[in-house]
Amino acid sequence: METVPFLPSYIGMDLGGTKLLLGEMDRQGNLLRVEKKASGQMDHETAYAFLAQALSSFLSQPTPGYQPCAIGIGLTGHVDGKKGIWMKVDERDGNAVPLADRIAARFSLPCFIDNDVKSAAAAEGLFGVGKDTSDFTYINVGTGIGAGIVTAGHLIRGGHANAGEVGHSSSGLTLGILCACGRKDCVELIASGSDIDACARRFVPKYTNTKLNIPKEGRVSAQEVFALSDTDSLCRELTENAAKALANLMMNIVRVCDPEAIVLGGGVVADGFLLKRAEQYFSAHTMRHVTKGVQLTKMDSHYAGLIGACANAIRGYEELRERKD
């Protein structure tokens, strides 16, 4: 009886602050199965043990007809994807962990890791806008703001794995808000989800009649801010500041990197509202060479991180094969 060969698959793990998503994907970008586990704030050693245990359980139930050939992990914080090292968000907090090597040794599969934003850029390169161009920038506008910059098909990492920290570029506004990076009025301080909340609390004394719900606990909803922006003065200021900051960021990236396309992802921009407001502040001359446009990611927002993690596995594995050949 003829043996039917196994098809290759790729394992992904997306570790966030509250949950871990595990999945298996084929080379065409189809998720074959997905599992979800609750997570929480952990130090790196605890996180490694948690990932290893979850992965062991996941791999113990193979998908019929498929053979995993690589593992990819998407992580928050500072990650050296080239060396496979997971570092602290603040490097002064402790030692770096060679996570990729440790997972690879434990499971006898090559492992490739990166931070969540660069992972999403890898997914765009394989399954999204990267099908039409090898020069694009992916910008994530969520709790914070970061970017994955791809030029000639290569993700820019920088000498210290810090390339893409575009949230700490100047917004072009003069609000006098001091950033932890030492500068004032960084884009992240004005257009990210956490800092739209911070700005609402900072500016509310000027707008005592605002209809915006500013909870004692939890974060102001960016979507509520946008929904009230045409009728509420506080929300109008917050929205227009965020739109200007985001527009200036994209125009700066265009001047520096010359992408053919810009892709936006993350919860703050998911509904497209902020992008439409930002487009009003574009200079047509500056944006003329973005021939494939500024667009929202088409990845499913529920699984974007997991798709990015699987993309790390696919990209890493194929690059490894090329080097061996």
Question: Which helix (H) or strand (E) segment is 295 a member of?
Answer: strand 294-296
pLDDT by residue, tens only, the chain of 325 residues:
455 578 999 999 999 888 999 999 999 999 999 999 998 888 888 899 999 999 999 999 999 999 999 999 999 888 999 999 998 654 555 578 899 999 999 999 999 999 999 999 999 999 999 999 999 999 999 999 999 999 999 999 999 999 999 999 999 999 999 999 999 999 999 999 999 999 999 999 999 999 999 999 999 999 999 999 999 999 999 999 999 999 999 999 999 999 999 999 999 999 999 999 999 999 999 999 999 999 999 998 889 999 999 999 999 999 998 887 7
β-bridge mates for residue 113, sequence order: 73
The answer to pTM > 0.85 is yes
State whether residue 83 is helix, strand or coil. coil
| CB-based contact 96:36 (threshold 8 Å) | no
The confidence score (pLDDT) of residue 180 equals 92
β-bridge mates for residue 31, sequence order: 25
Token pair 């043996």 in the structure block, residue:
3
| CB-based contact 113:298 (threshold 8 Å) | no
Distance in angstroms (rounded) separating the CA atoms of residues 265 and 273: 12
CA dihedral of residues 57, 63, 68, 74 (deg, nearest 10)? -60
| CB-based contact 138:263 (threshold 8 Å) | yes
Nearest of 315, 321, 322 to residue 124 by alpha carbon: 315
The confidence score (pLDDT) of residue 45 equals 87
The confidence score (pLDDT) of residue 152 equals 96
Distance in angstroms (rounded) separating the CA atoms of residues 252 and 243: 14
Radius of gyration of the chain (CA): 21
Residue 110 CB contacts under 8 Å (≥ 6 apart), including other chains: 69, 70, 71, 104, 316, 317, 320
User: Regarding beta strands 111-115 and 85-86, do their DSSP bridges make them parallel or antiparallel, or are they unpaired?
Assistant: unpaired
State whether residue 291 is helix, strand or coil. coil
The confidence score (pLDDT) of residue 88 equals 66
Nearest of 255, 287, 252 to residue 172 by alpha carbon: 252
Question: Which helix (H) or strand (E) segment is 150 a member of?
Answer: strand 145-151
